[in-house]
Amino acid sequence: MTLSVIPLYAGLLAFMYVGLSARVILMRRKSGIVLGDSGDITLTRRQRVHANFAEYAPLALVLLLMAELQGAPVFVLHGLGILLIAGRVLHASGVSQEQESAPFLHRVMGMALTFGVILIASLMNIASVFPAFS
């Protein structure tokens, strides 16, 4: 089976990961902080955006990849891929802002979308094991 959907989203998310990594590196150079955050809130936020991405995006991609390998409908995979990208962008935007009003909503929406994708993909994978449900 040729993978035709999830490699697109894996590639886009990889670019985002490199961008988030670069933001942390540039802030470390600017502030002269090699380890930790030394109480620098901007560096802390950048570190958390990067770490949160590293914590959730790989799991979501693995679940989506397994769903594609199980023959999930292409439109469903694209929908979930788009929601995952949107969730990661919203979360990064929300956590990166120093004011917690509207950005807090972005953070919550971003995590809700990410969790939604993970849960839906999980259910799809579980259902694929039971032929009566797939």
| 5-50 tens-digit pLDDT | 999 999 999 999 999 999 999 999 999 888 888 888 899 999 999 9
Average pLDDT rounded to a whole number, residues 84-113: 88
Does residue 59 contact residue 82 with C-beta atoms inside 8 Å?
no
Of the candidates 107, 112, 83, the residue with the CA atom closest to the CA atom of residue 94: 107
Distance CA 40, CA 28 (A): 10
Q: Exposure of 117 by Cβ count < 10 A (0-12 exposed, 13-18 middle, 19+ buried)?
A: buried
Report the phi/psi class of residue 125: left, alpha or beta, with left for phi > 0 and alpha for psi in -120 to 50: alpha
pLDDT class of 134 with cuts at 50, 70, 90 = low
Distance CA 72, CA 57 (A): 19
Residues 6+ apart with CB under 8 A from 103: 93, 94, 95, 96, 97
- In this prediction the pTM is 0.91
Residue 107 CB neighbours (<10 A): 21
The domains of the chain, with CATH numbers, are 6-126 (1.20.120.550)
Average pLDDT rounded to a whole number, residues 50-79: 97
